[in-house]
Each structure stands twice: as structure tokens, then as C-alpha cells.
Amino acid sequence: MTTGFALVLASLLVCLAPALAEAQAEITGVVRDTSGAVLPGVTVEATSAALIERVRAVTTGGGGQYRIVDLRPGSYVLTFTLPGFNTVRRDGVVVSGTATFVVDADLRVGALEETITVTGEAALVDTQAVTRQQVLNGDTINAIPTGRNYYSLGVLIPGVVSNVADVGGATGDAMAQLAVHGSRNSSQRITQNGVSTSGLAGSGGFAGTVPNVSGAAEVTIDTNAVSAELATGGVRINFIPKDGGNQLSGTLFAAFAHEDFLTSSNFTERLQEAGLSAPGAIKKNWDVAPGFGGPILRDRLWYYATARYNGAQAYAAGMYHNLNAWDPTKWTYEPDTSRPALSTDGDWQQGKIRMTWQANAKNKFAGEWDQQAYCRCPNGVAALTSPEAGRDRRFPTQRILVGEWNSPVTNRVLLEAVGLHRTTGWGEVHLQPSGSLSDPAAIAAYPLMIAVNEQSSGLNYRSAVPNFNKAWNENYFYRAAVSYVTGSHAFKAGFNNTQGHLFDRAYRFQPTSYRFNNGIPNQITLWAVPYRDAATENADLGLFVQDRWTVNRLTLTGGVRFDYFKTSFPEITLGPGPLVPGRDLTFPAQDNLGWKDITPRMGASFDVFGDGKTALKVTLNKYLEGQALGVNTLAGTPSPFRTLVLNTTRAWNDTNRNFVPDCDLTAPGANGECGAMANRNFGGTNPGASFDPDLLGGWGNRFYNWEFSASVQRELVPRVSADIGYFRRWFGNFQVTDNLSVEASDFDEFSIVAPNDPRLPGGGGYTVGGLYNVNPSKFGQQLQFNTLSDRYGKQTERWDGVDVMLSARLQPGVLLSGGFSTGRRTTDNCEIVAALPEMLLGGQLLADNNNNVWLSDAWCRQSEPLRTQMKAFGSYTIPGIDVQISGTFQSIPGPHIAANFVASSAVAARSLGRPLSGNAANVTVNLLEPGSRYGERLNQMDLRFGKILRLGNARSVLSLDLYNAFNSDTVLTQNNNFGAWQRPQTILQARFAKISLQLDF
């Protein structure tokens, strides 16, 4: 099926045939005569240069209502015509996003040839649509200082949080994930014209391919009440691409920054006292993004081409090159303070061509080729990862082919279809001689280096601790829909589907990695490399129907969606490896997930006073969590290949300090200097690993969330509006892993005493109880059963919060937007913990918890304090002198703080009454209740000062940007390991300047 689809898609592309995007803006209203009676049969035409067909026409229905849908962003002229009445013309109707713009008209009896032109302010309040959406058009994006990527735009919206902290593009185009109102990062979706651009790795929420902001007519960001056209309900970023036009036009954005140009230092005394040895700072940063387009055949065939070359280099806070790197005889990290390490060293390239063809009045086609590549080399270098322990993150092949078609069959029926083929090759590969590694001696020594993790500080050095990998992904996306539109109804039905394959190969030069505690070896990790994995997404199918029905001042929105998600695994054969010399395994092909779900979408909007200035809105929607083929998700973990035990640990007492484990590493039992394997099935399969059929398939078993919202939107004064909303999100169908080899009674409870430290609550010295260690007779026994948490009790998670947003569109040249958001997450896992004490280890119940850290069972119920953020952006052009001043501001809560204390076996034995199982040297325990301690707030102001220059039809802005204008020294992340507790790891980039040029013609 996929081969046939590829051939059809290729044919469409050759013929310049790609597809219509999902729903865009619409204009609606009621036409009356001067007595107030409604007028059916009025011809309403919308004309705009943004439309290749130039004009769209509809006719009012029996109630005098009309509705024109699927309008591209731009300025429109509306004309209302009825025999025997004056023609009314409404100029300057600017539409954007997916909002509904209400334009009513009054016709009076008169000569048809007489035209009355009316004007009016664009409505600030959308009284019909319930989706909360931020629209950023090209003028706004070009005016404000940002990194010009989707996440640097998204984080300016109150309520939105990012897993990447970026200042002015200093981190380059990182693959960030956004969340809002308690949603998971996995629910983020990046789309272009409504079509996902993401691949199948992870949860499908992001990918190496990122649409070019310079090629977008506008970017819309949905944060609430996503329609039935998508399964997920997190942040949705949609790029509307430029199509070209009947006139040649173009744009160029260019920016450059360097460490020697107007940079400052925020390496303050307090940071030095906290243990930071050096601040992070930019080295250089550049971004060049041209775009141009126009007509090949006027009103028939348009083109638009864009390109981008973006690069970033930045120093890692507190990290230097290792003087002992590439020396197999050295086992310590010795910083070379003359050579600060780079945390970011990458470049991104992109080129795209888009063609739009109006074949006839009823058929429009478009086609697109998008080619991208990037290398972040090395990747992962940070305060706790030395440069030689990084990996090259390479995406040499990234290609997207798109085909679109739409057809307004009548002025009420619209057909649309789209096809997309995405190809990506990437990997976290070993440091390459062509990039990160150039010294011949280092190249020769590299394969000999064994990675080390220093337990007391968390430092990784000598070589990469994780495996290297190379991966390949191909996926196909297609969808179709039919819309039936009248004045009062906007009905839509359709389907979308994704299919594809993911292949991954893992390798490393040394099959072991070491753990030291204060320089003394205490644990070995064994790796069953090399291996490869593969998965197929057979279907991510959604069928939906939805309608928007307007009755007087009330608009009801309703929809229902059916989702079918199916994955499978092809046959895989694995041969021997250094620590698995006898491995010869074949895993047969196998079906995997087979979820079926029905999710309702409901909303209502009420024009309170009938003047279009106050809207009361309420929504209730069920969403499914994002899913693709990520190896650590349910699409990957049930693979028969995953029954293979890929790694395990064993205690190590290096008595002779030769840094060589004097034992037989392949023997599972204790021998020589080595303790027993933590998992005795290492190198083979774990026959007991199993998955509950209810977890992998059936009706209504996929992880989901419900979202409720109630809001009021009000125009306060002309051109100024406010939006206040309450939001609640709650989750269901949690997954747990039960080791069937042990019962709750097989765990012995113990406690430790926190060290005396003035930074701990009460100065420390308190008891942390509710910790568990498995009975020695059960150590290493693994019979994992993955299932739904409902089998063991009740598990809850919810988020409640309030947003307040203000928006002002004052006289031309003035833009203001901002507000605040506050909310808290509440969880309760107590019934699950009582049945499964092993769930207290790692991040199974708390995502912020490290994998090898135990939590106290006293903290199974958590309620965060209110976490409040404030954000704003705006621009102002000084009349007469054409000087533009703009800025952005963010004030967001600090990071969660843990205190991961390494307690020796002797310390644990005081209450446990015996040494730790498996001869473990120690156990790591979090001394702080989750949610009780947070880092300092981030307050960041970015400013731009620009001079507008005009020459004929060309307009340029030469600007000076100041990022982190007040040179804040906020700590973004700190060390949570108690040996180096609260030592800053990353801080806000110090103030730096960037020169930029925006040229439009």
C-alpha cells in the first residue's frame, strides 16, 4: 500500500499537485435590509491578492446568513450584491489563523450600479470559535526579537512551557517540546497547513525537520480546544506557507552575533561562591534566510522558494576540555581551563520550493519539496558531560514531499486532500573525524576509551555513557475531508492516516561503562551491543465529523473522532557481541498495538450582548496522548526484541586499583572482584517480560486526558481586549510495571538520616523513611508485567489553572500582547505504591526523578504550589523618524530541586538490619519532598532597536538586538546530586548583541 501511495504522490508532484491544508480562517455574517429583515439570496464575494483564484463567492441562506471558509491570511474586500438593492462593499477585512470574523451588512433598496463602501475596525473578539489560538503573522515575527523558531515564539504565550531554554537563538534550532495547562510534551504537534511534519521517533511530537519561519505567511499556535481533526490536545504549532502571488516579492533575514561584539559577563560573585567555575556564553551565531516568489502564469501558476542557513556556537557553563581525554591510562577528569567546552556547535541548512496551480475554477493544486540537514557536533556536552563524552548528532538526510488539492464543488461544498512523504536519516553517532574529532592520536585512542560516570557529582567523562545509534525513518501521511457550509452551519467530515517504518542500530566501541564514587570504582554496566531494532506503524487512522452551528448569538461546536492505532514488528536476527559471544537469536514478526478509541469534542460560545464585544466560552474535550514508534514507548517496548536484556549492572570492588574488572563478566554470578548481575538474564531474553493485552489493545485503553475550560473574552476599549479563562486537565489509563517475581512483602522497609546541612529543611538531620530494598533471596529476579494501574488501585493526576491575557492593536505600528498564567499539578499514587513498592525507584511515578533514585512512600501524594508565569511582547514604531522599538519579556518559575543523597550500604543497614542486596555499595535517595523546593525565577527581557529604510517598493529594517538585556544571572539548572548539591550547571546566557537585517520587496 505504501509503495503504491508513493508512486501516486510522485506523479502528483510532477504535475504540481499537493493538497489543501486543514481549516483556515472564515468570514461569516448576516445580511439585512434597512428594516432589519434578513435577506436570502445575496451574493457575497471575498476578493484578495492572497487567493490565486482571486475571489470566493457564496450566497446567503434563508436566515440571511453566509459563511466563507478556508481563507488564507491576508486582506479581503467583501461585496454584497442583490438585484434591486445597492451593492455594499467592505474594504480592509484582515483575516488570520483559524478564527471566525463576523462581517454583517445592511442593504437598502436602490440601483444595482450604485456601490456603497463601508469601513470599520476589525473585531478583536471571536464570538464563534472556541479554540484558543495565538496568531503571529510575518510582520509580528519580523518585529520582535526572538530566535525565529517555533519554540521561541511559543514560549511567549502565557501558560506555555518549554523543555529548552533559549536566548536569542543561542542554542540553534533545537528540537524543543512545548506543553500547556499540564499537558505532556508528547502531545505537541508541529504542522504545516495542518499536515504533521514530524517523524515516527519518540511520540511524534517533533523531528529534525522544522518549517522555516521566513517562508511562513503566519504561524498559529493552538493551546486549548483543539478540533476533532487531531487526536492530541497539547500545543499545536501550524505554519501557513507563502504561496507567491501575481507580483514578484521577496524577503531576506540575516543576523549575526559574536563573542567579541557587545557581549557582557554575568559570572557574578554569587555564582562563583555557589561553585560555578565558568559561565556559559555565545561564541558566535548566524542566521541567513532568503525567500522570494511570484507568478509563472498570472492567476494560474505561482511559486515561492525559501532557504535558511543557521549556525550556533555557545560555551557550556562550568565545563572545560579534559586534559586526560584520549589517554587510555588516565581515569580522572582534569579540566583544561584554557579551553572552555562548547555546549552548542551546530549548523542547519534548509531549502524549499512550493508551487501553486489554479487548474480551473474548481481545482487548485500545490506541490512542495523541502530538503534539510543539520549537525550538532558534538551534542550533549554540558556541565556534567565532558566534550569527549559527547556524541555527534547528525541528520544528513531530511526530506519532505507534499501534495495538495482542493475543490470548491459548489459555494457550499468543499473537497480537500493531501499527501506527504517524509524521509529522515539520523543518529547520535560517535565523534567523527570530519567534525568533532580531528587529532590523529585521539582518533586512534577513541575506540579504547571506557566511559565513566562519577556518582558523587554526576559527571560523565572519557567516552559517551549512552550507546551510539544510527536510524532511518520513512513515513506517509494522507488525509481527505469534505465540508458542507451554510450560513449557520460549518460541517466537516474526513479522515487522516499515517504509516511508516523506523529502523535503529545501536553500537559502542567498549561493551562496558564504569561508575566511580569519589574516584573509586563501585559498579560496572554491561552492554549487549551491537543490536538493531525496527518497528512499523501500520495505521494511525482517524475518522472525524464535526459541526459548528450558529443560532442567533449562540454558536455550538461538536465533534466526535474515532482513532485506530496499530503497530507491528518485522523479523529481526541478532548475532554475537563482545559480552554475548554465543548470541544467535531470531525474533519473529509480531503484531503490537491495536488501540481503538472514540473521543468527543464539545464547545459553546455566546455573544453575551449581541454586539460582538463579549464572548462567553466553555469547552469539554477528550484527547489521546501522542504516540509514534519511540523505542521507550509502548510502540517499542513490547517488541520481542525488547525481551532481550540489553544491559545490566554489577557491583565492583577494584581491590588492586588497576581499573580492570578482574572477573568473568559473562558469568552471571558473583566472581572475582564483581558482584552478581542485577539481571541474570543479561544477553538473553527475559522470558517473563509480558504485556497485558488490555494495555496494548482494545477499546478505550490508550493513555488519555480530558480538558475543560471556561473563559470570557471582552473588548475593553477599541482595539484592546482581555481573555480570562479557567482550565482543568485530568489523565487516565496510567501504565505500571509489576515485577511478578516479588511481592510487596519481599521488600524490607528502611530509613536513613539526612546529613546536617543548613540548606536542607530544618538544617537536615531528619529521618527519611518509607524506603525499600528487595530481600537478598529475590535480588536479580525479573519477571516484568506491564499493565494498567487500575489493576492495583486508583491513580490520579490533574492540573488546574487560570490564564489572563491582554491584547492591544492600537494605531499602526503599535502592538502589545501579554498576560499571566498560574496553576498547579496534583497527583496521588498511594494505592499503587502500596501494591508495588518498586514503583518508587526512578521516574516511574515522578518524571523529574532520576532513574536510579528512590523516593519515600510518604510522598506518594503530591500537590505542587501555584506556579505563576508572566509574559509579554510588543513593538512600537516612532512616527516621523521610522525607528522601531520592540521587546519580549518572560518571568517563569524556577526548576524543581531534588537532593539525591548517596547512602552507603552501612548507613542503610542501621535500620535495614542487613547490607543492601546484591552487595550494592550504596543506594541513592531523594532527601526532599517533590514539589517542596524550586529554583529561582527566570526574568528575561530581550530588546530590539531598528531603523526602517524605504526605497521604492522595498522596505528594510536594520536592527540591533540585545538579548537578556538586563544581564540576569539566573540559574536554569543546578546539580541535584548531594555531593555537588545546588552547584549551578546552566545559567541564562549573558547579555549579547545581534545585528540583523530584514528586507522585504
**Concatenated DSSP letters of 901-936:** EEEEHHHHHHHHSSPPGGG-SEEEEE-S-TTS-B-P
Does residue 20 have a pLDDT over 50? Answer: no
Pairwise CA distance, residues 562 & 577, whole Å? 45
Q: In degrees rounded to 5, what are phi and psi of residue 4?
A: -65, -40
- For 546-580, what is each residue's pLDDT tens digit? 999 999 999 999 999 999 999 999 999 999 999 99
Q: Contact at 8 Å (CB) between 149 and 374?
A: no
CB-based contacts of 442: which residues, under 8 Å, 6+ apart? 325, 326
Backbone φ and ψ of 391, nearest 5°: -135, 150
- In the chain, what are the domains? 2-118 (2.60.40.1120), 132-241 (2.170.130.10)
pLDDT of residue 118: 63
For position 444, what pLDDT does the model report?
A: 92
CB neighbours of 717 closer than 8 A, spacing ≥ 6? none
Distance of CA 911 to the CA centre of its chain: 44
Amino acid letter at 282? I
User: Which pLDDT score is estimated for 11?
Assistant: 37
Euclidean distance between CA atoms 819 and 722, whole angstroms:
9
pLDDT at 767 exceeding the cut of 90: yes
Q: Which of 169-183, 450-464, 616-630 shows the lowest mean pLDDT across its residues?
A: 169-183
Report whether 490 contacts 550 (CB < 8 A): no
CA 948 – CA 930 distance, rounded (Å): 51
- From residue 371, alpha-carbon distances to 211, 403, 673, 878 in Å are 10, 15, 53, 40
Whole-number CA gyration radius for the chain:
30
Report how far residue 573's alpha carbon sits from residue 885's, in angstroms, rounded to the nearest whole number: 62
- Half-sphere exposure of residue 429: CA atoms within 13 angstroms, side-chain side: 18
Cα separation of 577 and 467, whole Å? 14
Query: Which range (777-791, 821-835, 879-893) has the least confidence?
Result: 777-791
Confidence of residue 783 (pLDDT cuts 50, 70, 90): confident
Determine which helix (DSSP H) or strand (DSSP E) holds 830, and give its type and residue range. helix 830-835
pLDDT for 867 equals 96
Residue 797 has pLDDT above 50, yes or no: yes
Asked whether the predicted pLDDT for residue 205 surpasses 80, the reply is no
536 burial type by CB count under 10 A (0-12 exposed, 13-18 middle, 19+ buried) = buried
Residue 996 has pLDDT above 70, yes or no: yes
Residue type at 244?
Answer: G
Determine the distance from the C-alpha atom of residue 320 to the mean position of all C-alpha atoms in its chain, rounded to a whole number: 30
Do residues 269 and 285 make contact, with C-beta atoms less than 8 angstroms apart? no
Q: Which amino acid is at 814?
A: V
User: What is the rounded distance in angstroms from the CA atom of residue 690 to the CA atom of residue 67?
Assistant: 54
366 close to 19: Cβ distance less than 8 angstroms = yes
Comparing 162-171, 282-291, 355-364, 769-778, which segment has the lowest mean pLDDT?
162-171
- Residue-wise pLDDT tens digits, 636-669: 778 887 778 899 999 999 999 999 999 999 999 9
Mean pLDDT of the chain: 90
Helix (H, G, I), strand (E, B) or coil at 141: helix
| pLDDT tens-digit map of 859-891 | 999 999 999 999 999 999 999 899 999 999 999
Model pLDDT, residue 85: 87
Place of cell 579504547: 448
Q: Taking the alpha carbons of 756, 758, 760, 762 in that order, is the dihedral positive or negative? A: positive
Alpha carbon separation from 770 to 432, 744, 838, 869, 917 (Å, rounded): 47, 13, 12, 34, 17
Mean pLDDT of 110-125: 66
* Whether the predicted pLDDT of 96 surpasses 90: no
pLDDT tens, position by position, 310-368: 999 999 988 999 999 999 999 999 999 999 999 889 999 999 999 999 999 899 999 99
pLDDT for 845 equals: 61
pLDDT level of residue 170 (50, 70, 90 thresholds)? confident
- The contacts of residue 287 (CB under 8 Å, 6+ apart) are 148, 169, 253, 254, 255, 256, 308, 309, 310, 311
- Would you state the pLDDT for residue 115? 65
Name 229's bridge partners.
Answer: none
**Consecutive H or E run containing 539:** strand 531-551
Question: Tell me: the pLDDT tens digits for 410-436?
Answer: 989 999 999 999 999 999 999 988 666
**909 pLDDT higher than 50:** yes
Backbone φ and ψ of 508, nearest 5°: -160, 160
What mean pLDDT do residues 968-994 have?
91
Q: Which DSSP symbol is given to 882?
A: T
Residues with Cβ within 8 Å of 952's Cβ and at least 6 positions away in sequence, in order, are none
Strands 531-551 and 489-507: antiparallel
Digit-coded pLDDT (tens) for 677-727: 998 888 888 776 789 999 999 999 999 999 999 999 999 998 899 999 999
pLDDT for residue 470 is more than 80: yes
User: CA-to-CA distance for 450 and 48, rounded, in angstroms?
Assistant: 64
pLDDT at 163: 86
Tell me whether strands 74-81 and 65-71 are parallel, antiparallel or unpaired.
Answer: unpaired
User: Identity (one letter) of the amino acid at 47?
Assistant: T
Cis peptide before 576 (omega within 30 of 0): no
Closest CA to 887 of 994, 788, 827, 815: 815
Query: Partners of 301 in the beta sheet?
Result: 297, 357
Q: Do the beta carbons of residue 31 and residue 39 sit within 8 Å?
A: yes
Helix, strand, coil percentages (3-state) for the chain, rounded to 5, are 10, 55, 35
Q: Give me the phi and psi of 582, to 5 degrees please.
A: -100, 10
Spatial contact of 948 and 957, defined as CB atoms under 8 Å apart? yes
781 pLDDT band (50/70/90 cuts)?
A: confident
990 with 263: CB under 8 angstroms?
Answer: yes
Q: How confident is the model at residue 9 (pLDDT cuts 50, 70, 90)?
A: very low
Instruction: Give percent above pLDDT 90 in the chain.
Output: 70
> What would the pLDDT profile of 925-969 be if each residue is shown by its tens digit?
999 998 899 999 999 999 999 999 999 889 999 999 999 999 999
Whole-model pTM? 0.88
Contact assessment for residue 211 and residue 241, using Cβ atoms and an 8 Å cutoff = yes
Over range 803-830, report the average pLDDT: 92
